Structure 1
Amino acid sequence: MGLSAGFEARAAALQVLSDVLRRRKPLDAALESTHALDPRDAGFARAIASETLRRLGQLEDLIRHFVPKPPARNRAGPVPEILLAGACELVFLDVPPHAAVDGANCLAKADQKAVHFKPLINAVLRRISREGKDVIAAQDAAALNVPDWLFSRWIDAYGEETARAIAEAHHGVPPLDLVAKGPVTVEGAAPLFGSVWRLKDPMRVDTLPGFAEGDWWVQDAAATLPAHLLGDVKGVRVIDLCAAPGGKTAELAAAGALVTAVEREPARMDQLRANLERLHLSAECVVDDAREWRPQEPAPFVLLDAPCTATGTIRRHPELPWIKSASDVTMQSQLAGELLDAAAEMTAPGGTLVFATCSLEREEGSEQIEAFLARNPDFSRAPLTDADVFGHSEFVDAAGDLRTLPCHLKDQGGMDGFYAARLKRA
């Protein structure tokens, strides 16, 4: 890679890291700035930014090993991000030392504030190129790469051994899961369970066989389970709340359900409609707040995939631990409770309500259901069986609810952390 091409990719990665770490911007949104680059540079920029965030705690600890008091962001410009990205290239991406160090120096030279710290950047990264991997090998990676507020929660909820297994599962690049209407012809795709096929190596999905034809859609294996818990929905009305981007809507429609998809955000509903159109599937689409909207009559099946902190999806969104806080858990829990009460009103007598969330936090999962059942005595749990989860008994917790963890299916590449409870109305 020539210097100019390398500079453009590194500059783009630097911008992405600044957007995420300083402005709390989601990684996917920040990465949109790389779309103007040629594919090779865009891929390199994505790799630098994603791996830096995936290993952020380790990289910060590594830099402090050589610079006990790193330059303050307010007077050093992008120096912290330059050091993080450069260190990531050296110890995790195995970029040749001369290229990584020179690339960081060029970034510093191009910035009015960072240029004054160019000698520091050069010296630190050269030391990291020689000694960095030894420091990394001695680190407690699982604990470092999760903020203390979040790691302590996981230890309380799951025990230290499982909390560490969850954190370690976030270190790998996740595979690509496809949910298919039939057999998948993508080379390397292998059946996982249900309608899920897994590709070990992520790639551009719009170039794969069957994408344009609408033969499949992308959805993590764990995210396919809540809709499956409703059972046979063919020819029956199902209300899908907080439906975008539409994976669960597509599942239900493909199973023959008469789906009403409710989504508050117009742009996200546009995405859902576009996905359904590509897949040649149909659903009634309603743009409204599920807390306020009500159907003409209650439905026999309601699915609520509630907004949450999404801590179960860190393997796909490595920025989440660093842009969320404990207060976000409290805020999202309150919203989920309001949505769950609204969903209950939409569920017909004798009907089934499935509540789901892609969070690992108890307040957003099991505690939400306990509180709901306490204030809604006409609802009760319908515990899951092994057959509900394709024989994976490890996906069912002691209460009979769904609880997948990122460390599940470890040998096959893991899965997102999901919670779901199946409830019956009397």
Structure 2
Amino acid sequence: MAKTPGIPARRAALKLLDAVMRRGETLEQAENAALKGVDGPADRALARAIAGETLRWLADLDALIDSATRKRLPDDAKPRMVLRLMLAQALRLGTPPHAVVATGLDLLAGGPRRLAHGVFSTLMKREVSLPDAPTLPDPVRARWGDRAEAIAPGLVDPPEVDLSLRQPDEAAERALAMGGVSLARGHIRLPRGTPIDRLPSFDEGAWWVQDLAAQIAPRLLGEGVGKRALDLCAAPGGKTLALAAAGWRVTALDISEKRLGLLRENLKRTGLEAEIVKADALAYTPAKRFDAILLDAPCTATGTCRRHPDVLHRVSERQIGEMSEIQQSLIHRAIEWMQPGCVLVYAVCSLEAEEGEAQARWIDATFDLEPMPVSADELPAKLRPTPEGWVRTHPGELAEHGGLDGFFIARWRKPV
């Protein structure tokens, strides 16, 4: 008997969800094993979409399930896992209910299929819907405090595609040609799902993919013709490309050979140059000090929750603390390599205060550096610096244009 089409993709989505919720893996870490045996890019994309939407709306999906059961299903019970996937397809991906049932109940072979069918059918008869914005998990809301309400509307959909241009003044012309919009100098935003490698200008090397918020940090170093800059923790390389395009002689350092491979490919495609160093930053010693250092530090990456909703469910206080310690170690090292007049930009794609604001205050209190407040005219339209002159972005900002990642960025100079 032939298998129902689409079941391998649903089974893969269940494996992805299980890897995040039970084992604390990222979706990317789980993909190789979970997608094994799923044929074709369309089915693999479907599996990712089902898992991603389930994680994005998990609290709201669980509330619906609980409203239709007399006894609450355990969080890790397989029927709950399968019902989450089924509801995400019906309510977020527009899959017809009969197709959801046909492909979903097979995931409970030998299990309580009648229960899952009954709960799903009850909710469909009620014509249930999801709220306008996802409900954030309780631990996340507690950490983000007053910001949580503003952030949630930015998580409704996966992000669109942002490009950073090698020649910033070409943004308006290229945006028109590509059917996109420009929200800042040197930036273009295209609709989500745009096939990047098939854009007519891909082989020109005139741009690279980089979220709008991530484009801010390298631009805060300005033009650097003939000056030496260190991009610490550089891969996959968007910051290195931006610095090289601005004239800096860039040393790009990272510990991951695989991720540096992506940087090498982009340097070749764009025709830009940088010295690539594979090394552990905590053991690295440069031959000379630098005129500028960009430290986009390893972090929990909770600011990328638009594209990686798994971070909403697997990042804990313990991980935040561990990342904070690593960040301080890297800051210590970076400051050792600053020559007088050197500018340091510290950035994290995290929404956690411990990784952002607290680190900036620690730098101010610990080191002999001069704060360099960021001004409004250095930022994309409608973004404003904090009263301290720092940059704090979150997914709910620029929501009318599709939002942006959550970043913290601050800048200092070493006295001459």
Q: 1:68 to 1:418 in 2, by over 3 A?
A: farther
1:416 is matched with 405
Q: 1:391 and 1:91 mapped to 2: Cα distance?
A: 34
Partner of 1:80: 80
1:352 to 329, 343, 356: 343
Q: Could you tell me which of 267, 282, 287 is aligned with 1:276?
A: 267
Q: 1:73: Cα distance to partner?
A: 7.3
Alignment TM-score, normalising by the size of structure 2: 0.92
SS in 1 for 2:234: coil
C-alpha displacement of 1:270: 2.2
Cα contact 2:163–2:209 (8 A) shared by 1: yes
Residues 73-152 of structure 1 aligned to structure 2 (within 5 Å): 78-109=78-109, 115-131=110-126, 133=128, 136-137=130-131, 142=134, 144=135, 146-152=136-142
- Aligned match of 2:48: 46
- C-alpha offsets along residues 391-416 of structure 1, whole Å, 9 cap, x if unaligned? 54x33001001111211111100001
1:27 to 1:323, Cα distance in 2 relative to 1, 3 A: same
Tell me if the contact between 1:149 and 1:326 (Cα under 8 Å) persists in the aligned partners.
no
AA partner of residue 118 (structure 1) = R
Q: Which runs of 4+ in 1 moved over 6 A?
A: none
Instruction: Measure the CA separation in 1 of the matches of 2:113 and 2:404.
Output: 41
Aligned: 1:13 with 2:2 = no
Please point out which of 115, 139, 154 is paired with 2:144. 154
Pair 1:294–1:398, CA change in 2 (3 A): same
Which sits farther off after the overlay, 196-205 or 240-249?
196-205
Distance 1:293 1:193 in 2: 35
Contact 2:183 2:380 in 1 (8 A): no
Please identify, of 266-275 and 285-294, the stretch whose mean Cα deviation from structure 2 is larger. Answer: 266-275
The yes-or-no answer on 1:371 pairing with 2:365 is no
Contact 2:342 2:414 in 1 (8 A): yes
Residue from 150, 158, 163 that aligns with 1:173: 158
**Deviation per residue, 1:316-357 (Å, 9 max, x gap):** 111101111111111111111111111111111111111111
Displacement, 1:230? 0.7
User: Hey, what's the Cα distance between the residues in 1 that align with 2:353 and 2:202?
Assistant: 37
How far off its partner does 1:190 sit?
Answer: 1.7
**1:405 corresponds to 2:394:** yes
Deviation at 1:106, TM superposition (A): 2.1
Question: Which of 315, 319, 326 is residue 324 of structure 1 equivalent to?
Answer: 315
- Native 8 Å contact 1:17 1:49 kept in 2: yes
**Residue aligning to 1:112:** none
After TM superposition, the score normalised by the length of structure 1 is: 0.90
The aligned runs of 1:217-366 (5 Å cut-off) are 217-366=208-357
Structure 2 residue runs of 5 or longer lacking an equivalent are: none
1:336-383 Cα offsets, whole Å, 9 max, x none, are 11111111111111111111111111111111011122111x202111
Partner secondary structure for residue 239 of structure 1: strand
Q: 1:235 deviation in Å?
A: 1.9
Which of 379, 383, 386 matches 2:376? Answer: 386
Deviates more, 1:327-336 or 1:36-45: 36-45
- Is the 1:240–1:261 contact (alpha carbons within 8 Å) kept by the matching residues of 2? yes
CA offset digits 1:205-250 (Å, max 9, x no partner): 2222222332221110000001000111122110000111111011
Q: Distance in 2 between matches of 1:43 and 1:221?
A: 24
Contact 1:395/1:404 (8 A) holds in 2:
no
> What amino acid is the match of 1:59?
L
Alpha-carbon shift at residue 390 of structure 1 (Å) = 4.2
Counterpart secondary structure, 1:193: coil
* 8 A Cα contact 1:70 1:80, kept in partner: no
Instruction: Give the number of equivalent residue pairs.
Output: 406
Q: Take 1:396 and 1:73, find their aligned partners in 2: how far apart are those partners?
A: 41
For residues 193 and 390 of structure 1, what CA distance do their matches in structure 2 show? 5
Identity of aligned residues (%): 38
Q: Assess if the C-alpha contact under 8 Å between 1:58 and 1:141 holds in 2.
A: no
C-alpha RMSD of the superposition: 2.1
Residues 99 and 196 of structure 1: is their aligned pair in 2 closer, same or farther, counting only changes over 3 Å? Answer: same
Q: Is the 8 A contact 1:62 1:132 kept in 2?
A: no
Say which SS state the counterpart of residue 316 (structure 1) adopts: coil
Q: Distance in 1 between matches of 2:137 and 2:96?
A: 30
Larger displacement relative to structure 2 (221-230 or 24-33): 24-33
- The separation in 1 between residues aligned to 2:49 and 2:381, in whole angstroms, is 36
Name the CA distance, whole Å, in 2 between partners of 1:131 and 1:102: 20
Q: Deviations over 1:82-134 (max 9, x none)?
A: 1110111122222111111121112222xxxxx22111111111112112515
Separation (CA, whole Å) in 2 of partners of 1:104 and 1:79? 10
Offset at residue 71 of structure 1 (A): 4.6
Q: Supply the distance in 1 between the matched residues of 2:183 and 2:61 (Cα, whole angstroms).
A: 34
